[in-house]
């Protein structure tokens, strides 16, 4: 049993003060669903806008929004309909449920991954495999698909699913996106939104939800050019890397610079390493301390078969241990190729060479005078077919004194050497079509929010409070009258109004004593408090109190608005006010 004091305390505050609570409470609730309350929704918005600042503004990726319900074909192509499932079997005697493939592999020592359920059922009966627990009989194998199924249209003829990830919504309109980016790699597209997975038994609070928010970026790159033009700007960032080798050898993670990681081949490319760094900077900016972050490389066995390299960004928690909050993968051309195949669309990019390549090519030319009479109405088709042919093959046939057969749609025609001529031709090749590789940083926003709350929780002798980073704190400033008389409350209300006019989320609190108000304010992580006291009435000054160290400075009211704006946006540090 872990010590989960922080988890318990943070979740209590979250529930009590309106960050998070489980959904549908008055109807007994439903596992795997959470509401974001007033402060939680604001915090979430602030974190998402910070994310946009990094990825949309900073990296120049554009954001799109696609439907959360997807037709079956699309998810068939992505592999989710067939493979986002587990083959399950149940013991008829003790009612335990097992992964069918695991049960089989334990007994027959053979890889059965990817086999049909029927085949798995057969293997079980042929090998007389029994329940691993009690030896009883196992039922036929069925697939448990983690997607929520629904119907599209009134008659329910078309099956739809709630999307299990936002990524597919970016791959599917790839041609449109490529055109938007005027045909050039690399480019990045992001999507922020809900995704759905019908987890068998979600029991870890906000860590495993059935409906959750993802922020994903899909970065399309040239497969042969995975350098990053801005790599120099992150090259010296230190990353706490736990490689797959280190895991296998039971070693600890190591602090490594991004530059070093790429040079030693620890991380497979600059683009991937660059994304690890950006993710690291983002988390640091949310106030998650570097000591509780590590980058864990997927083991070869856990990585999807199409991925080249994949790193999870993990955060240490007292209740769950290390949890994955971000996955950053090089998914290669898997997704685009798969959609290309299922949709019969060309999802490739024409990449122009720096210099066009000259090649000498043998071409075969028809002798038109002979072709017309010989093939009559088929002549144009034969000529077209001839153009698409590899001329050297035709020549080879003739060298062997044979004729060459051309397959038309409905017949085969014979070409002999006297109806064509050969020609060496110089051709310019300007480039080639390639299917881009995809670098995918995928963020679990709900888990990030949990991490932010957990690691902003601070307690000392006197206080328990959230040390939320000031740019993401839901409420920017609280305004208090020192006591409730002599018009102090009135002045405090005026200041609160003016702060709101400045675009700062500000609240007023006049109940209880000043100490209680500070305590309430700290508990929800309000970075600054403005207090109106009797000196305010004499000289129009107020105090600003810094949540983190309880210190106060006195400044004129007319300056308070700009000062707070500068403090909240990080343009000014509180310490500089104290001089």
Partner RNA sequence: GCGGUUGUAGUCUAGUCUGGUUAGGACUUGGGCCUUCCAAGCCUACGACCCGGGUUCAAAUCCCGGCAGCCGCACCA
> Which residues of the shown chain bind RNA in the complex (CB under 7 A)?
1, 12, 15-16, 22, 28-32, 83-84, 86, 90, 94-99, 102, 146, 164-165, 197, 199-205, 208, 304, 462-464, 482-485, 511-516, 518-520, 522-523, 531, 533-534, 543, 545, 550-552
Tell me if residue 349 falls in helix, strand or coil.
Answer: strand
- CB 84, min distance to RNA, A: 5
Closest CB to RNA among residues 97, 359: 97
How far is CA 240 from its chain centroid? 20
Helix, strand, or coil (residue 313) = strand
For the bound state, the minimum distance from the C-beta of residue 118 to RNA, rounded and expressed in Å, comes to 19
How far apart, in whole angstroms, are the C-alpha atoms of residue 489 and residue 44? 31
| CA atoms within a 13 Å half-sphere pointing along the CA-CB vector of 441 | 25
Question: What is the closest distance, in whole angstroms, from the C-beta atom of residue 432 to RNA in the complex?
Answer: 30
How far apart, in whole angstroms, are the C-alpha atoms of residue 102 and residue 124? Answer: 11
Q: How far is the CB of 144 from RNA (least distance, A)?
A: 7
| Count of H-run helices and E-run strands, the chain | 21, 28
Q: Please, how many CA atoms are within 13 Å of residue 115, restricted to the half-sphere of its CB? A: 20
Smallest distance from RNA to CB 322, Å: 13
For residue 326 the two structure tokens come to 């971000």
Nearer to RNA, 139 or 159 (CB): 139
What is the distance of C-alpha 150 from the center of its chain? 24
Among residues 189 and 310, whose Cβ is nearest to RNA?
310
Give 81 or 178: the residue with its C-beta nearer to RNA: 81
Q: For residues 209 and 266, which CB has a smaller minimum distance to RNA in the complex? A: 209
Please provide the DSSP assignment of 21-76 as one string.
Answer: EETTGGGT--TT-EEE-HHHHHHHHHHHHHHHIIIIIIT-PEE----SEEEHHHHH
CB of 304 vs RNA, minimal distance in Å: 6
311 or 375: CB nearest RNA: 311
For residue 25, the minimal CB distance to RNA (Å) is 8
Nearer to RNA, 412 or 511 (CB): 511
Choose between 219 and 544: whose C-beta lies nearer to RNA: 544
* Residue 334 CA to its chain's centroid (Å): 16
C-alpha to C-alpha distance for 111 and 402, rounded to whole angstroms: 49
Classify residue 556 as exposed, middle or buried by CB count within 10 Å of its CB (0-12, 13-18, 19+): exposed
Q: How far is the CB of 327 from RNA (least distance, A)?
A: 8
Task: Give me the least distance between CB of 187 and RNA, in Å please.
Answer: 23
Of 209 and 351, nearer to RNA (C-beta) is 209
- Give ∠ CA 68-178-329 in degrees, rounded to 5: 65
205 membership: H or E segment, kind and range: none
- CB-CB contact of 445 with 359 (8 Å): no
CA atoms of 124 and 144, how far apart (whole Å): 18
């Amino acid at each position: 049993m872990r010590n989960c004091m922080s988890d318990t305390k943070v979740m209590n505050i979250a529930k009590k003060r309106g960050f998070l609570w489980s959904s549908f409470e008055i109807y007994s609730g439903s596992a795997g669903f959470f509401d974001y309350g007033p402060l939680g929704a604001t915090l979430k918005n602030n974190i998402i806008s910070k994310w946009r600042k990094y990825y949309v503004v900073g990296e120049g990726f554009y954001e799109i929004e696609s439907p959360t319900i997807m037709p079956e074909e699309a998810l068939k192509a992505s592999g989710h309909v067939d493979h986002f499932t587990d083959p399950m079997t149940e013991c008829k005697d003790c009612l335990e449920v097992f992964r069918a493939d695991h049960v089989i592999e334990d007994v027959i020592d053979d890889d059965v991954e990817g086999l049909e359920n029927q085949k798995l059922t057969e293997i079980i009966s042929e090998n007389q495999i029994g329940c691993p627990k009690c030896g009883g009989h196992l039922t036929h194998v069925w697939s448990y698909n983690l997607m929520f199924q629904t119907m599209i249209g009134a008659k329910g003829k078309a099956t739809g699913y709630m999307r299990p990830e936002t990524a597919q919504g970016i791959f599917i309109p790839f041609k449109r996106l490529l055109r938007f980016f005027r045909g050039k790699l690399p480019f990045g597209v992001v999507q922020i939104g809900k995704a759905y997975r019908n987890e068998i038994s979600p029991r870890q609070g906000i860590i495993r939800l059935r409906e959750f928010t993802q922020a994903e970026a899909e970065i399309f790159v040239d497969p042969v050019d995975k350098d990053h033009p801005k790599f120099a700007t992150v090259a010296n960032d230190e990353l706490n890397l736990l490689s797959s080798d280190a895991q296998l050898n039971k070693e600890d993670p190591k602090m490594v610079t991004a530059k070093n990681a790429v040079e030693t081949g620890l991380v497979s490319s600059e683009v991937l390493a660059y994304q690890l760094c950006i993710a690291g900077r983002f988390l640091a900016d949310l106030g998650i301390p570097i000591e509780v972050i590590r980058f864990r490389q997927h083991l070869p066995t856990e990585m999807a078969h199409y991925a080249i390299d994949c790193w999870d960004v993990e955060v240490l928690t007292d209740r769950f241990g290390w949890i994955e909050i971000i996955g950053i993968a090089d998914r290669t051309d898997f997704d685009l190729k798969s959609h290309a195949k299922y949709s019969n669309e060309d999802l490739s990019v024409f990449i122009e060479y720096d210099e066009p390549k000259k090649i000498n090519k043998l071409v075969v030319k028809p002798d038109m005078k002979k072709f017309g009479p010989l093939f009559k109405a088929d002549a144009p088709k034969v000529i077209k077919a001839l153009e698409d042919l590899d001329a050297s093959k035709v020549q080879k046939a003739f060298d062997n004194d044979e004729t060459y057969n051309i397959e038309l749609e409905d017949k085969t025609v014979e070409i002999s050497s006297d109806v064509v001529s050969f020609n060496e031709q110089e051709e310019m090749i300007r480039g080639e079509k390639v299917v881009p590789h995809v670098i995918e940083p995928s963020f679990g926003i709900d888990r990030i929010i949990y991490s932010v709350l957990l690691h902003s929780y601070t307690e000392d002798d006197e206080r328990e409070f959230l040390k939320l980073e000031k740019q993401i704190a839901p409420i920017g400033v609280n305004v208090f009258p020192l006591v409730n008389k002599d018009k102090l409350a009135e002045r405090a209300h005026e200041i609160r109004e003016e702060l709101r006019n400045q675009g700062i989320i500000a609240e007023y609190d006049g109940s209880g004593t000043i100490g209680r108000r500070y305590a309430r304010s700290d508990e929800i992580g309000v970075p600054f408090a403005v207090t109106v006291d009797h000196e305010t009435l004499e000289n129009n000054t107020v105090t600003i109190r810094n949540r983190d160290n309880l210190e106060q400075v006195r400044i004129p009211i007319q300056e308070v608005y700009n000062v707070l704006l500068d403090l909240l946006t990080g343009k000014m540090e509180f310490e500089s006010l104290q001089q």
